Amino acid sequence: MSSCSLDTGNFTDGRMAQINNYNIQYYRYFSSAFYRYSIILFVLIILLILRNSYIIEDYIFGILSIPILAYFFIDIIYTYYTFKKKGPLNFDTIVWRFNKNSAPSLNNDYITSSSTTSSSTSTTCVGEACCPSNMIFDTTNNICSFPTTP
């Protein structure tokens, strides 16, 4: 693939570059996680060898291994959770879930938002109520627009 092919507007080449970039970031994310896990497991194996050869006592092994194992499991859960939040097309973005049931409905009045802060509720304008006096609400595109002159 030449560098000129991206300049010609070929969608396939651009998409392949995007997929390759996603795969590189995916690989780096998991390789750094597995590197951390390898170090943790290496330390635990060293501690087990020291305990089995009676160099360290059992209670010292427990005191040292419990925080290491706690960090290990917290890191696994965190890595899995953050991976599930990554965007399917762009690894750097986070996908935020949107709850349609808590969203305001589209009508031409002011509505009260479902979110409250301390002791007051905030109002949100929806539809025609949001448009300034010199604009009209386009119900097809759900935007405020200037009136067209015939």
Domains of the chain, residue spans: 4-85, 100-145
**What is the pLDDT averaged over residues 115-123?**
50
pLDDT in tens, 127-141: 777 888 888 888 888
Q: Which of 33-42, 113-122, 126-135 has the lowest mean pLDDT?
A: 113-122
**What is the pLDDT averaged over residues 26-45?**
94
Top pLDDT among 67 and 98 is at 67
Cβ burial of 76 (10 Å; 0-12, 13-18, 19+) is middle
Contact 22, 15 (CB under 8 A): no
- Containing 115, the helix (H) or strand (E) segment is strand 110-117
pLDDT beyond 50 at 112: no
- Average model confidence (pLDDT) for the chain? 78
SS3 145: strand
Top pLDDT among 128 and 13 is at 128
Contact 144, 130 (CB under 8 A): yes
Q: Which DSSP state fits 98?
A: -
SS3 99: coil
Top pLDDT among 69 and 89 is at 69
**What is the pLDDT averaged over residues 109-134?**
61
- The pLDDT-based confidence of 74 (bands split at 50, 70, 90) is very high
- The pLDDT-based confidence of 103 (bands split at 50, 70, 90) is low
SS3 90: coil
